[in-house]
Amino acid sequence: MIDLNLIRTDKELVKENIRKKFQDYKLPLVDEVLVLDEKYRKLKQDADKLRGIRNNKSSEIGALVRNKQLDEVEKIKKEVEEINVELEEIEIDEEKLSVQIKEIMMKIPNIMADTVPLGKDDTENVERKTFGEKTKYNFEVPYHIDIIEKLNGIDLDSARRVSGSGFYYLTGDIARLHSAVLSYARDFMINKGFTYVIPPFMIRGDVVDGVMSFEERDAMMYKIEGEDLYLIGTSEHSMIGKFKDNLIDVNDLPVTMTSYSPCFRKEKGAHGLEERGIYRIHQFEKQEMIVVCHPKDSAEWYRKMWNYTVELFRSLDIPVRTLECCTGDLADLKYESLDIEAWSPRQEKYFEVASCSNLTEAQSRRLGIRIKDGNEKYFAHTLNNTVIAPPRMLIAFVENNLNEDGSINIPEILRPYMGNIEKITIK
């Protein structure tokens, strides 16, 4: 959520930001919120004026009582009661307008960085850098489900009977590999100085509205029937919610945390062969990194965070590239975002495995996360990034560590988490 003062002082900047996101249907919201804001401020002025008159009249009553001017006292008391009735009506209107203004403000997207490339959708995202040589084989790479099934590592049929499509059972060494990469990612981030956290996996509606746009909520979140609770789509949601209404001392910044959680999402189904299997699913696990920092430091933390993910994937012998999200692909709360994509030898292209985002003040304004800096108070900046998210990471792992006989090599750095085995073999 942006500062309303920015709309008051430079509405054209806000409108141009909306145009860059190709969301022209939101342009009327800017003028609409200005009209409501003017009404709200007029009501507030009227209310303040009435409170002043009421205070003056109330202070007169004591002197009149001492002078035994009881008729005048009753007259003033009646005037005060009339003012109270009028004030109550104004305050009701004030509250209604305040709610309307907030609802509109939460639909207006965050101001994007000037460096975000202009583009309508994810097809116009821009490659920034590649890391590692693309894995190439002199044999045909099977579909990732076929690789894992031959290793007795997955059972999709049973999962469909139990839960429906978009779920799976992982078994044996593949299940162990899944847990191993999460444990390795946890320790990797702890060694970077991040505090390990296991957060709540359900959050209240006001936290959901604080961390994402209404459109994202409706597209992603599962709501618990009869409860004001949602299953998290990523631990970022509950981790940022942890600081709701907090006033953080500037000397306690930055706050750097890495969190584990299951994630639950309303994925909209498969989009071709390569997005079936375990690419788009309703339930998965993830290691996340979260930073809450001083506004002047968020650009540097953004750079550090995506570099950590690149470093981790390269340590597992997986080639990756960074892809900067264009204006039309950027979620409304984001200032800038960079996807990390892993190389798929089967598809001979990269696919998304992580996403790093700087949200500047957008979440902090919605949730009331402020910094206390001497006599000053101002909003913190929040950032998040995927450390690792099986099972998409598993697709990249098995394809890039595959042998012609169907076995999977285990990189040396991961072997302590896998009982020191060097490969997963077909049994």
**Euclidean distance between the first and the last CA atom of the chain, given in angstroms as a whole number:** 54
Q: Residue 8: helix, strand or coil by DSSP?
A: helix
For helices 172-190 and 298-315, the axis angle rounded to 10 degrees is 140
Q: pLDDT of 179-220, one tens digit each? A: 999 999 999 999 999 999 999 999 999 999 999 988 888 888
Burial class (CB in 10 A: 0-12, 13-18, 19+), 5: exposed
List the pLDDT tens digit at each of the 427 positions of the chain.
899 999 999 999 999 999 999 999 999 999 999 999 999 999 999 999 998 888 887 777 767 766 767 777 778 888 888 888 999 999 999 999 999 999 999 999 999 999 999 999 999 999 999 999 999 999 999 999 999 999 999 999 999 999 988 899 999 999 999 999 999 999 999 999 999 999 999 999 999 999 998 888 888 899 999 999 999 999 999 999 999 999 999 999 999 999 999 999 987 544 444 456 788 889 999 999 999 999 999 999 999 999 999 999 999 999 999 999 999 999 999 999 999 999 999 999 999 999 999 999 999 999 999 999 999 999 999 999 999 998 899 999 999 999 999 999 999 999 999 999 999 999 8
133 neighbors 398 (Cβ within 8 angstroms): no
Residue with tokens 């540097």, as numbered in its chain: 300
* Domains by residue range for the chain, with CATH: 4-105 (1.10.287.40), 122-424 (3.30.930.10)
Q: Are 333 and 106 in contact (CB under 8 A)?
A: no
CB–CB of 361/232 below 8 Å?
Answer: no
List the structure tokens of 409.
Answer: 């090599």
